[in-house]
Amino acid sequence: MTIDEETFRIFQRVGKEVLMRNLGSSHSGNISIRSGGKIIIKKRAAMLGWLEPEDLIECTLDKEDSSSLLASTELGVHRAIYQQTDAMAVVHTHSPYSVVLSLIEDEITCIDAEGMFMYKKIPVVELNVPSGSSEAAEKVPPILKNYPACVIRSHGVFAKGITLEDALQNATGVEFSAQIRYLTMLTGKPLKRDYSKEKDFGNW
């Protein structure tokens, strides 16, 4: 299986962006696209910020195949997202501010202008086994039917998009909103104006 040069360059660029923005450790996170009846996804244990052409694995969309053993341990979640939502690309990061807030909140309500416009709130998903479990494949896709991204408590962000760049924008946008919320909480001071409560984002 040969991945075309343009597809590889997009994967390479998005992978480097995730690393440069400190959204995970050297080998964590994974990205994928849907291509017809196939999924192209990062290889298991490959360094997301330094991808080579052989680090992209093509798997079938509807069932396990021989390539599945080489793919990311989160392949099952990616596959379920494509099967149940309108996603054409998925970016999964271990974004630190999003993870921190997931440990103390049941949803991350956006208080910054961009986050309020783009997301309103980011749901937090509770799993018994946060990383690489079949439970994630059951619980994440129903959330992503209605939201562009969610956070698995203590683990990280799953963001969908029409393209990899679109999914990256959602993943980085969620982390930016989480960072703003976290830093604001550190001040210990009340907001001068909380648009999220005025607009009742909790019911979105």
CATH code, domain with 165: 3.40.225.10
Secondary structure element (H or E) that encloses residue 113, with its range: helix 113-118
**How does pLDDT run across 158-171, given as a tens digit for each residue?**
999 999 999 999 99
Find out whether 160 and 154 touch, Cβ atoms under 8 Å.
no
In this structure, is residue 145 part of a structural domain?
A: yes
pLDDT at position 15, please?
96
Q: What tens digit of pLDDT does each residue of 1-21 get? A: 578 899 999 999 999 999 999
> Of 141, 144, 154, whose CA–CA distance to 122 is shortest?
144
Rounded CA-CA distance 103/151 in Å is: 10
pLDDT of residue 160: 98
Domain for residue 195, yes or no? Answer: no
Question: Of the ranges 23-32, 62-71, 85-94, which one carries the lowest mean pLDDT score?
Answer: 62-71
pLDDT, residue 176, reads: 98
Work out how many domains the chain is built from and give that number. Answer: 1
pLDDT, tens digit, 9 for 90 and up, residues 85-128: 999 999 999 999 999 999 999 999 999 999 999 999 999 999 99
Rounded to whole angstroms, the Cα distance separating 38 from 196 reads 39
- Any domain includes 199: no
Task: Let me know if residue 137 belongs to a domain.
Answer: yes
Q: Hey, is 72 helix, strand or coil?
A: coil
CA distances 25 to 93, 96, 158, Å, are 9, 10, 16
Q: How open is the CA angle 161-145-183, to the nearest 5 degrees?
A: 65
Whole-number Cα distances in Å, 78 to 62, 131, 168, 181, 188: 11, 13, 15, 28, 38
In a domain, 56, yes or no: yes
Q: What is the pLDDT of residue 194?
A: 86
pLDDT confidence of residue 197:
83
Burial of 37 (0-12, 13-18, 19+ CB in 10 A): exposed
Q: What is the pTM of this model?
A: 0.93
- Report d(CA 61, CA 106) in Å as an integer: 31
Q: Do the domain assignments include residue 42? A: yes
Cβ-contact 106, 150 below 8 angstroms: no
Higher pLDDT, 102 or 201: 102
Question: What pLDDT is stored for residue 69 in this prediction?
Answer: 59
Q: Can you tell me the distance from the alpha carbon of 26 to that of 194, in angstroms, rounded to the nearest whole number?
A: 37
| Predicted local distance difference test score (pLDDT) of residue 67 | 65
Model confidence at 137: pLDDT above 90: yes
Q: Which residues form the domain of 149?
A: 5-189
**Mean pLDDT score of the chain:** 92
Residue 197 lies inside a defined structural domain of this protein: no
Residue 202 lies in a domain: no
Query: Residues of 86-115 as b/e, b for ≥16 C-beta within 10 angstroms?
Result: ebbbbbbbbbbbbbbbbeebebbbbbbeeb
- What is the average per-residue pLDDT within 75-79? 93
pLDDT band per the 50, 70, 90 thresholds, residue 66: low
